[in-house]
Amino acid sequence: MRERVAAGWDELFSSAARGMRFSAIRRMSALIEKPGIISFAPGQPSPETFPVEEFREIVADVIAREGAAAFQYILTRGLAPLLSAVREYAAAKGMPSQPSEVLMTEGSQQGLDLVARVLIDAGDVVLVERPSYIGATSAFRAAQARMVGVRLGPEGLDLDHLRERHRAETSAGRRVKFLYVVPSFQNPSGISHSLPARRALLDVARELDLLVVEDNPYGDLFFEAQPLPSLRSLAGDARVVYLSSFSKVLAPGLRTAFILGPDELLAKVEIAKQSANLCGSGLDQRILLGCLRGGLIEDQKARIRPYYRAKRDVMLDALAREMPSGVAWTRPQGGLFVWLTLPEGTDAESLLEAAVAEGVAYVTGAPFFVDGGGENTMRLTFAREDAPTIAEGVRRLGRVVRADVTSDRASSR
Amino acid sequence: MRERVAAGWDELFSSAARGMRFSAIRRMSALIEKPGIISFAPGQPSPETFPVEEFREIVADVIAREGAAAFQYILTRGLAPLLSAVREYAAAKGMPSQPSEVLMTEGSQQGLDLVARVLIDAGDVVLVERPSYIGATSAFRAAQARMVGVRLGPEGLDLDHLRERHRAETSAGRRVKFLYVVPSFQNPSGISHSLPARRALLDVARELDLLVVEDNPYGDLFFEAQPLPSLRSLAGDARVVYLSSFSKVLAPGLRTAFILGPDELLAKVEIAKQSANLCGSGLDQRILLGCLRGGLIEDQKARIRPYYRAKRDVMLDALAREMPSGVAWTRPQGGLFVWLTLPEGTDAESLLEAAVAEGVAYVTGAPFFVDGGGENTMRLTFAREDAPTIAEGVRRLGRVVRADVTSDRASSR
C-alpha cells in the first residue's frame, strides 16, 4: 500500500480540475470500439489519404540537408520559413497578414486552448453554435467559460438568437468574450454558413462589438462549387481570429496548425504557448514546410476531395434508401460529417446499444449542445469506412432506427 | 487602417494574460544574439550530440513498416507501446509504475503546465528553489500561482527555511499546493541535492503533508559517480510527481517527455491534455520508441557524458584562471550549467552590455529568483561552444568582470 498525500486530491485540485470529466465521446469509445464493427464514429481523416511516400522523401531530404540542426528547439511561434510559407498560403486565400499576426500551434486544439487561456476568466461568456465542436467547448470549459449556445440553421447562425443571447448575458453583467464558429462543413453538423449568412454575421459582430473566433479545419475539403470565403477574408479587419489546421488535408499525426489574428492577441498567445509547451515538433513543422513548398498540398487537396465526395455520396444514397420517414439528415457540401436527426422523442444514446449489437457505431449528438438538447441527433462520418462498408453500415443503422420508430408507434398505440 | 475590436484588448484579456510578459531571457536574446558572439547563454543541448543517423534509420523503418498508420492521431496519453517502454525505462531507475501512472507530454514544459493547471487556482502557493528553473516558474505564473522561494544551498534545499516559509503561508490562510524541485544538476545553478538532503527533504515533505513535483531533465548527464536516486524512487509513494524528458539525451526538437505520478492526478492531467493539444506528434513518439527499443538511448548517454564533462572541465579550468578573487562558481557534477556569483553589489545585468561588447554572452541570474535577489549572479552553459571557444569566452568574461571589480574598488575609494 502506497502512502498518499493525506490532504486528499480534492483539496489539492484546482477548481478547473474538479470540473474536468472525460468527454462523452471518450466514454462512448469503450462501448463502440469492437473488432469488426462498422464505425461512423471517429472524427479522423482516412489514412488512405495521407501522402506517406512524399513524407518519406521530405524527411530524408530534411535530414540530408539540415542534419542535426533539424532536431534542435525551434522558436515558440514556429519555424521562421514555415511562418512565411503559411502567410503566403493564407494570403492566397484572401487573408494577407503581417509576421506578427501568425503563429503555429500543435494542432488547432492548442490554438483553441491558448485563445481561451488569454481571453477567458472563470464565468466569462463564450457564444457557440448549437451544436458546436466538442474539442473547442472542452477547451473553453477548461478555462471555466460560461458557454451559451446560439441556434445553427441550415444556412448559418440564427442572428436574432445571437443578438438575444448576447443581450441577455451583457444585461446580466457578464462579459461576452467572443463568438466561436466553424462556418464551413462544421464538425459535427456538416452545415456551412452561406455567403449572405457570413456577411450578415460579420455585420452583427460589428454591431455588438464582438470578437469572432473562426475555426476552419475542413474548408479545403469542398465537394461542389468553389469554397466560400472565410469570415477573416470577408471581414478584412482584426475582428476575426482565424484558426486552421493541416490535419485533414495532410495527416493529423503531424501536429501542425496555425492561428492568424490580431497582433495584440498573438503576442499574448505566444507567451502563453511558451509556458504551455515551449515549441512544436521541429520535424513535423519541417515536413509541413516541404509540403507547402513543393506544391504537394494543392495536389493533395485535389486528390482527396473526390475521395471523400464519393464516400459522402454513398452515405447520402444509403440514408435515402434505408431511413424511415421522420428521419432527417444534412447534405454536407464538404468535410467529413453527416448529421442525422431522429423523430422528436427518440434517444440516440439509448439506441446506441442496439446499433452496436447490429455492428454499427456513431457518436450521439447531445454532447455537442452546450446547454442541453439534441438527444435525438447523431453524427456520422463517411471518412473511415470504404464505400460498400458505408452502405452496409447504413443498412444496419436503418434497421435499428426502423425498429425503434416502430416500437415507439406500437407503445404509443 | 484596419478595424479593431472597439472594446480594446485590455478589456478582453483574461487576468492571467494581463499579467503575461515575455521572459527576461527572451528580452535578453535581442541583446546577445549577435553573429560571432561566444554564447554561454542558451539553455540548449549541443546538436553535435544528436544521433541523427539513427533518427534517419528509425524514421525510414517506421514508414516502411507502418505506412500511413504512423501519421494518424495518437492517444492523448501517448502511443501505447511507447508508454510501456517508458514504464520499463523508469522501472530500471527504481520507479516501477502502473499504466495509469504514466503519460507522455510534448516536452517537460507541457508537463509542468498541465500539473499547474490541474493543481493551482489563482493565489495558491507553490514553493520553489531559489534560484529555480524559469520555464517552470513561467508555467506556474500562467496559472496565477503565488510563488515562494526556498533557499538552495550547495548540498540541497534549506529545510528550516522550507518549514518556515510553509508555516508562514499556511498561517496566512493560503493553500500550499506543492514544492517544485530540480534535484539533479539544476538549471540554472548546476547544484545537486545530496543523498542525505534528498532523504531529509522527503521527511519534511511527509511532516508537512506536502506534494513534491520533481523535475529531472538532466539526471542522465552525470559526469562523476553514479547518479543519485530520484526523489520518486526514494519516496516509493505517491507523494512525488516525477517529470523527465528525452530532450537533453536525444534531441529537444523531438517533443518527448513524460510524467510519472499518482493515478488520480494523471487522470486529471490526461483530461487537461486532451483539451490542451489532443495528442502529441506520432512521428516524434515513434522515433523515441525506436531509440528506447534499440537500446540506442543507453549508448547515447554513454557517448554524451564524456562530451559534456570535457567541456565542463574546460570551463571550470578557465574560470579558475580568469576570475578575480571574490567571484565564486558552482562545480556541477553533471548537466549543462555553471552558476557564477559576483561580489555582492555587482550587477550582472549592467555588466551584460560590456560583456556583449567584448563578444561574450550569458544569462543574468536575477530572473531565476521568484522573490527578488540574485542580481550578482549569472548562468553559464558549456553546452554550446567547443573547448577552445569556451576558454576564449571565459577569458573575455574575466576581463569584463575584472574591469568592473576594479572600477568598483576605485569608485569606493
Summarize pLDDT for A12-46 with one digit per residue, the tens: 999 999 988 877 777 777 777 788 899 999 989 99
Please give the average per-residue pLDDT across A324-328, as a whole number. Answer: 96
Question: Sorting pLDDT into bands at 50, 70 and 90, what band is B169?
Answer: very high
A306 close contact with B: CB closer than 8 A: no
- pLDDT tens digits along A152-182: 999 999 999 999 999 999 999 999 999 999 9
- Count of CB atoms situated within 10 Å of the CB of A322: 18
Q: Measured between beta carbons, which residues in chain B are less than 8 angstroms from residue A276?
A: 109-110, 113, 139, 142, 276
Q: Measured between beta carbons, which residues in chain A are less than 8 angstroms from residue B282?
A: 253-254
Q: Measured between beta carbons, which residues in chain A are less than 8 angstroms from residue B138?
A: 274-275
What's the CA gap between A258 and A215, in Å, rounded?
10
Peptide bond into B188 cis (omega under 30): yes
A80 close contact with B: CB closer than 8 A: no
DSSP A150: E
Q: A281–B277: do the CB atoms touch at under 8 Å?
A: no
- Residue B376 or B412, more confident: B376
Cα-based angle B177, B180, B184 (whole degrees, multiple of 5)? 160
> Among partner residues A118, A255, A287, which is closest to B277 by beta-carbon distance?
A255
Cell numbers found for residue B330: 558552482
Cβ under 8 Å to B: A residues 177-216: 177-178, 206, 209-211
Helix (H, G, I), strand (E, B) or coil at B287: helix
Cβ under 8 Å to A: B residues 361-390: none
Closest chain A C-alpha to B24 CA, distance in angstroms: 12
B106: left (phi > 0), else alpha (psi -120 to 50), else beta?
beta
> Among partner residues A5, A60, A251, which is closest to B238 by beta-carbon distance?
A5
B15 residue type, one letter: S
From the list B222, B288, B263, the residue with the least C-alpha distance to B74 is B288
Judged against a pLDDT cut of 50, whether residue B1 lies above it is answered with no
- The two beta strands, A257-260 and A176-181, are unpaired
Per the CB < 8 A criterion, the answer to whether B290 and A38 are in contact is no
Judged against a pLDDT cut of 90, whether residue B31 lies above it is answered with no
DSSP A151: E
Q: B113–A277: do the CB atoms touch at under 8 Å?
A: yes
Judged against a pLDDT cut of 50, whether residue A1 lies above it is answered with no
Per-residue confidence (pLDDT) for residue A82, from 0 to 100: 98
Q: Measured between beta carbons, which residues in chain B are less than 8 angstroms from residue A274?
A: 23, 26, 138
A223 close contact with B: CB closer than 8 A: no
- Residue A411 or A259, more confident: A259
Judged against a pLDDT cut of 90, whether residue A5 lies above it is answered with no
What's the CA gap between A254 and B73, in Å, rounded?
8
Helix (H, G, I), strand (E, B) or coil at B65: helix
- Residue B26 or B131, more confident: B131
- pLDDT tens digits along B108-149: 999 999 999 999 999 999 999 999 999 999 999 999 999 999
What's the CA gap between B125 and B232, in Å, rounded?
22
A3 close contact with B: CB closer than 8 A: yes
Closest chain B C-alpha to A150 CA, distance in angstroms: 21
What's the CA gap between B236 and B231, in Å, rounded?
8
Q: A44–B120: do the CB atoms touch at under 8 Å?
A: no
What's the CA gap between A208 and A206, in Å, rounded?
5
- The two beta strands, A363-364 and A377-381, are antiparallel
From the list A313, A304, A329, A324, the residue with the least C-alpha distance to A391 is A313
> Could you tell me how many residues make up chain B?
413
Cβ under 8 Å to A: B residues 140-179: 141-143, 175, 177-178
Cell numbers found for residue B263: 493515478
Sign of CA dihedral A283, A288, A290, A293: negative
A310 close contact with B: CB closer than 8 A: no
User: CA dist B22 to A76, A80, A145, A400, B211, Å?
Assistant: 12, 19, 26, 57, 29
Closest chain A C-alpha to B41 CA, distance in angstroms: 14
Task: Look up the pTM and report it.
Answer: 0.95
Judged against a pLDDT cut of 90, whether residue A48 lies above it is answered with yes
What's the CA gap between B89 and B216, in Å, rounded?
14
User: Within 13 Å and on the Cβ side, how many CA atoms surround B308?
Assistant: 32
A73 close contact with B: CB closer than 8 A: yes
Q: Measured between beta carbons, which residues in chain B are less than 8 angstroms from residue A101?
A: none
A243 residue type, one letter: L
Instruction: Provide the CA A299 distance to its chain's centre, in angstroms.
Output: 23
Closest chain A C-alpha to B322 CA, distance in angstroms: 31
- Residue A241 or A409, more confident: A241
Q: A3–B206: do the CB atoms touch at under 8 Å?
A: yes
Please give the average per-residue pLDDT across B81-87, as a whole number. Answer: 98
User: CA dist A13 to B137, B208, B267, Å?
Assistant: 19, 18, 12
Burial B216-237 (b: 16+ CB within 10 A, else e): bbbbbbbbeeebbbbbbbbbeb
Per-residue confidence (pLDDT) for residue A413, from 0 to 100: 44
Q: A275–B141: do the CB atoms touch at under 8 Å?
A: yes
Burial B76-111 (b: 16+ CB within 10 A, else e): bbbbeebbebbbebbeebebebeeebbbbbbbbbbb
What's the CA gap between B106 and B89, in Å, rounded?
18
Judged against a pLDDT cut of 70, whether residue A83 lies above it is answered with yes
Judged against a pLDDT cut of 80, whether residue B166 lies above it is answered with yes
Cα-based angle A204, A205, A210 (whole degrees, multiple of 5)? 145
What's the CA gap between B149 and B151, in Å, rounded?
7
Judged against a pLDDT cut of 80, whether residue A406 lies above it is answered with no
Say which residue the cell 460560461 belongs to. A146
> Among partner residues B26, B206, B274, which is closest to A138 by beta-carbon distance?
B274
Question: Sorting pLDDT into bands at 50, 70 and 90, what band is A285?
Answer: very high
Q: B253–A73: do the CB atoms touch at under 8 Å?
A: yes
Nearest CA in chain A to B60: A56
Nearest CA in chain B to A43: B73
Q: Measured between beta carbons, which residues in chain A are less than 8 angstroms from residue B67?
A: 47, 52
Radius of gyration of chain A (CA): 22
Which candidate in A13, A14, A207 is best for mutational testing of the B interface (most B CBs within 10 A)? A14
Nearest CA in chain B to A250: B71
- pLDDT tens digits along B220-235: 999 997 889 999 999 9
Beta bridge partners of B334: B222
Judged against a pLDDT cut of 80, whether residue B186 lies above it is answered with yes
